[in-house]
Structures are given as structure tokens and as C-alpha cells.
Amino acid sequence: MDIGVYLRREVTYDKMLALAKRADELGYFGAFLNDHIHGFADGGREPYVEAWTAMTGIGMQTKQLRVGQIVLFNSLRNPAFLAKSVATLDNMTNGRYELLIGSGWNEPEYKGYDLMEGGRGMPSAKERVDRFEESLKILNLMLSQEETSYDGDFWKLDQAFNVPQPVQKPMRISVGCKGPRMMRITAKYAQGWNIGARSMKAVRENFDKFEKIVEKHTDNKFSDYYISGFGGITVIDDDAKLRESVAQRAEQMKTDSETVLRDQFIGSTENIREKIRQLKEWGMDMCVMSISVDGNDDPLGHFKSEILNRI
């Protein structure tokens, strides 16, 4: 299983770039940023670099690392223009762009930036998913052919050109989602699926849901899709510190420490190694992780040598 590095744990572009370069040096799969216009602390006033611009810069300043957003916010961009941007960045990075996208959910961004224009605010969940389905169809068309015309409910394209085409053929599209309708759209139109990896239990439950949807609505198998996750990992090898951190999390979650150690992505190096091994056995191909290693100023190095290289 591959690991992508989540860069938003850093605040400035320079520090994100340094983290990405370290990941590139160590042979990690990729580097990713969430695609939001503002943050979630201090009422959105915290420093927050824009994800497309930042990842373009990081793509230009790394050598082998794949780059992308976890996940693209569909309502931020016209899908035809997004297809052009994806193809361009894939050419600029010589085929290293990883495309993951979701429907959008954060109401303050819709209102604050008037994303739908005219002061509409955030559309209903149904409309957001309707728009997303149409966007996915357009992306599939424009990333596989040089000229596209399309007559939809939200977008009408008349000879939209996308030249040059992406380096990657085909251009894999993964969808970040957990709702049943979004899963059905993913199964039908996407090549990959991304799910939040907040706990082992939640991952297993969502895997089972998506597998049933794939079997019911397509002729595909679960293993035909590129399966990825997104979460955070905390490695603590000091027994006393680990017990304290686990107890605090158990109290927050209103559960017991044993459940936290078994289910959450916190634990000793050996504990985390076994969880990653389990995710791999379940069929996860890649997971984007914010990696923290207690008392270690090179968390990516520790995670690579002591966990990934020993699975």
C-alpha cells in the first residue's frame, strides 16, 4: 500500500515544500492538500494557501512525487476549465498529477465567496450531487479526447478543446464520498474511490457498503477500483505518553482506551504497522496521511523505515 503525505499540517508554502521534498527523497507516493479557500480555525481567518496554486508549485519543485488535492472542491471550478487545468498540470509534471474530487460541503465558503453567484449560497445536497455527476461526465470526456461537445442541465459545451491531452492515459479519477448516491455515481463513472480513514471500523464498514454498490449497479468488482483513504496517524513509542494520549482520546470519544488502541490511528510503531498491514489486506491501494511521530523531528523518515519498509 502506498502512502501520500498530507501537507496542511504546515502553514506556509515554504514549509509545505520542504515536507514534500522530504517525501520525494524518501520515495513516498505523493503529496496532497485539501481544496478549501479558507481554514476552519479562528472563524476562517487563519493563514491558508490556495491548493491548486500551491500544488502546481510543489509539482514543479519535486521529481518523482505525485501531486494532487484531497479532494478537489467541485463547485470551485467550471468542469471544462478544470479538465484543461488537469491536462496542463499533468503535462508540466510529466504524468504525476493524481485527480481526486468531491461534491463540496462547506457552506461558509459558498456564502463567503458567492461560489454560485447572485448570493445563492450553498445549493441543496441534491443539486450539489447533480452538478457533481455532470462534472464527472465532462471530466471523463475531456480528459480522453481533444474535442468535446456536451448538452447538460448545468453546462453546455460547444467544441471545448483540450489539447494537449494528459500524459496519463487513461487519466484516473477518484471520488471522495461516503453517501450512497455518490458511491453509485463513483461506481459508474470513476476509476477510483476515496474514503475518510478516521477509524479502522469506519473504513471496514464503508468498504463493505461500496463493494455492495459496485456489485449491484455495475459489472465491476471492488478490486477494479483504485481505493484510497485520508486520515491522520500518531505514533507514540513511549508507553506512559501513549497511555496518557489514548486515555485523553477515549474520554473525548466517550469510549475506553482498549477500543481507541484497536480502532483509532494512534499507537506504537508496531501497532500502527499492523493497522497499515490490515488496510492493505482489505484492499486499500493508497492512503493520504498526516503523519506525526512523538519525539521525532523526521516523522516521514521514521514512518518509512520502521513501518512501510517492514510491511
Mean pLDDT value across residues 20-31: 98
pLDDT single digits (tens) 99-123: 999 999 999 999 999 999 999 999 9
Task: Determine the Cα–Cα distance for residues 20 and 15; give it in Å rounded to an integer.
Answer: 9
Q: How many helices (H) and strands (E) does the chain have?
A: 11, 12
At residue 4, what is the residue type?
A: G
pLDDT band (50, 70, 90) for residue 190: very high
Which pLDDT tens digit goes with each residue over 36-54?
Answer: 999 999 988 999 999 999 9
| Average predicted confidence (pLDDT) for the chain | 97
Q: Report yes or no: 152 and 139 within 8 Å, Cβ to Cβ.
A: no
Contact 218, 186 (CB under 8 A): no
Question: pLDDT tens-digit profile of 142-171?
Answer: 999 999 999 999 999 999 999 999 999 999
Mean of pLDDT values over 254-271: 97
- Going by C-alpha positions, the residue among 109, 98, 1, 87 that lies closest to residue 58 is 98
Confidence band, pLDDT 50/70/90 cuts, at residue 174: very high
Residue with cell 500500500: 1
25 pLDDT band (50/70/90 cuts)? very high
Q: Which has the closest alpha carbon to 234: 307, 311, 310, 286?
A: 307
Structure confidence at residue 139 as a pLDDT band (50, 70, 90): very high
- The torsion of the CA quartet 221, 133, 200, 230, rounded to 10 degrees, works out to 120
What is the pLDDT, as a whole number, of residue 98?
98
- In sequence order, the 6+-apart residues with CB closer than 8 A to the CB of 156 are 150
Residue 275: what pLDDT?
98
Domain boundaries along the sequence of the chain:
2-228
pTM over 0.85: yes
2-228: CATH number: 3.20.20.30
User: How confident is residue 63, by pLDDT bands cut at 50, 70 and 90?
Assistant: very high
What pLDDT shows up at residue 295? 95
Percent of the chain clearing pLDDT 90 (strictly above): 98
